[in-house]
Chain A
């Protein structure tokens, strides 16, 4: 029962990762690419959480929290670099 749900969730987040990769390659604007990178980070967080449920370990939640922090900071830094030409003024 729960194995089927885990496989389904893995498959849907994998499809989501492929779509965001396509948007990063194609995306006509830099705003599209930043948005696709942020969505990719969120999908990766969800996949790490599902893997943590799969093998029944608590270690992966720390990794997911760290990836969430790094993803937010990198998105804001990329936007600041395009907006102002500098990250910390």
Chain B
């Protein structure tokens, strides 16, 4: 029984670390900044999720305790990864692209990098 639990935990550990390694090697391998932004924000977050699942299973199956700290860390990482990617894309657009290269937005206001934010109506 303990052997099966250890095999499951080891599978999650190795799978998670392989995902994270592939995501981080994408940071080395891909050509453009906009391409490079995809690898770490998705694959590495998924790899850390695998490590967190392995940690929860280890404390549940091997040590016999239920632990909920990992869910907090996983939720926080999954919530903050898109915000980080959005900010990094904004930094790249502001530094490397001209205003004419970008397509028109379909909203009433333009790109948030160049235009001022729309003024809020006063109540």
Contact = CB atoms under 8 A, between A and B. Distances in A.
Interface of A: 1-2, 4-6, 8-9, 12-13, 15-16, 19-20, 22-23, 28-32, 34-36, 38-39, 42-43, 45-46, 49-50, 52-53, 56, 58, 61-62, 64-65, 68-69, 72, 75-76, 79-80, 82-83
B60 interface: no
Given A30-B95, A39-B24, A45-B48, A79 B90 contact: yes
A45 B13 CA distance: 14
Q: Chain B at the A interface: mostly helix, strand, loop or mixed?
A: helix
Interface of B: 3, 6-7, 9-10, 13-14, 16-18, 20-21, 23-25, 27-28, 33, 36-37, 40-41, 44-45, 47-48, 51-52, 54-55, 58-59, 63, 67, 69-70, 72-73, 76-77, 80, 83-84, 87-92, 94-96, 113
Contacts of B9: 2, 5
Given A30-B95, A45-B73, A58-B67, A76 B7 contact: no
A56 to B, nearest CB: 7
A5 B14 CA distance: 6
Nearest to A9: B17
A9 B119 CA distance: 50
Contact of A46 (B47, B94, B113): B47
Contacts of A58: 59, 67, 69
A32 B36 contact: yes
A16 B69 contact: no
Nearest to B68: A61
